[in-house]
Structure 1
Amino acid sequence: MILGLHHAQITIPKGAEEQGKEFYCKILGLLEIEKPDSLKGRGGFWLEVGDRQVHVGTEDDFDRLKTKAHIAYQVDNISYWRKVLEQNNIKILDGVPIPNFERFEFRDPFGNRVEMIQEI
């Protein structure tokens, strides 16, 4: 039986960890958590998102702009996040409407598709 979601993983280019932490930790305000010693040599970093984790791995030769794969962050003030991202020159893309939700999408600095979603 599947009990729930433990983590999701996204990727950034190899060697871009500091730029990734600048965006995910400073702009989005996510908390970096320590990776197990056995995985530290693989690059990347881990983030805490509520009671879940996002693992930011590294890989090259992958065009993130060509995929619909994405991660969606549930928020309680979507207007705030739209403003924060616009102030950091992140282009906002309006998502297809879903009943009972307000949402938008954007691409992180590495091309990963990201969604902010709020139940209304």
Structure 2
Amino acid sequence: MHVGTEDGFNRLTTKAHLAYHVDDISYWRKKLEKNNIEILNSVPIPNYERFEFRDPFGNRVEMIREL
């Protein structure tokens, strides 16, 4: 993993994000919803199930599972 910072960009409009490839995407969706984390729908990708949410700093985080 590489972590960097930039000045002068809007976290809410950038496509930059962290993605986690998970086996049980339903588990993570339920876990986040249980903790009142807003789930954001993603643009569909064939053969994948995915969703996004924002971390406490406004960064986009993706959870993705291959079908």
TM-score (norm 1): 0.50
Name the structure, 1 or 2, with higher relative contact order (CA <8 Å, separation 6+): 2
Q: Where in structure 1 are there 5+ consecutive unaligned residues?
A: 1-6, 12-58
CA drift at 1:96: 0.9
Structure showing the higher strand proportion among its residues: 1
Paired residues for 1:6-21 under 5 Å = 7-9=1-3
String of CA shifts for 1:53-74, please: whole Å, max 9, x gaps: xxxxxx8876422322101100
What is the alpha-carbon root mean square deviation over aligned residues?
2.0
Report the counterpart of residue 64 of structure 1 in structure 2: 11
Structure showing the higher helix proportion among its residues: 1
Larger radius of gyration: 1
TM-score (norm 2): 0.85
Size of the aligned set, in residue pairs, is: 67
Calculate percent identity across the aligned residue pairs.
Answer: 73
The AA in structure 2 aligned to 1:9 is: V
Paired residues for 1:30-45 under 5 Å = none
